[in-house]
Amino acid sequence: MHPIRKKRLTIVVFLMAGIAIAVGLTTYALRQNINLFYDPTQIAAGEAPTDVRIRAGGMVEEGSVQRESDSLKVQFRVTDYSASVPVQYDGILPDLFAEGQGVVAMGRLNSEGLFVADQVLAKHDENYMPPEVADSLERAEKSRADAEKAAQSASY
């Protein structure tokens, strides 16, 4: 390669490396601001500020959803399987909202540790499958659990 071109190439490489490092350090320093939400572990550890509008995200705990019969008020727990936060919400939930599904709630954490949400968004994962496949997966999961239970009781 021509020496001038080699020199230019070196400059380009250094320029890009410099920018990459600068941007990398900036985004690393701002990572908590770039994160869209606090997960339940962070909230349980007291990392999330109280009485400030924040977002909390995680999975809706199975069996935790309690709806009030005379209003849209709903209470549920959001978990990341190591900690969970109670959430209260008054409004229309997205179609995809269900137990075991991901959610991102926006609202304030009050001093009792209850998260009062004014907006709840559904978060889904990257897995797509036809309904029949999902059904058979669920059935397989259930029969596996049943078999495990049977094996456990048999061993007693």
**Smallest gap from residue 101 Cβ to another protein (A):** 8
35 belongs to the binding site for another protein (CB under 8 A): yes
Give, in degrees to the nearest 5, the angle at Cα 37 between 110 and 95.
95
- Which DSSP state fits 65? -
72 belongs to the binding site for another protein (CB under 8 A): no
Q: Containing H/E element for 144?
A: helix 131-155
Burial class (CB in 10 A: 0-12, 13-18, 19+), 104: middle
Applying the rule CB under 8 A, the residues between 90 and 119 that interact with another protein are: 93-96, 101, 104, 119
Sequence length of the chain is 156
* Binding piece for another protein, criterion CB under 8 A, among 17-25, 45-53, 61-69, 140-148: 17-25
121 belongs to the binding site for another protein (CB under 8 A): yes
* Binding piece for another protein, criterion CB under 8 A, among 11-19, 46-54, 107-115, 141-149: 11-19
Q: What is the DSSP code string of 11-60?
A: HHHHHHHHHHHHHHHHHHHTHHHHSS-B-HHHHHTT-SPTTSEEEEEEEE
Q: Which of 69, 112, 128, 155 binds another protein (CB under 8 A)?
A: 128
Residues that bind another protein (CB under 8 A): 5, 8-9, 12, 15-16, 19-20, 23, 27, 31, 34-37, 39, 57, 93-96, 101, 104, 119-135
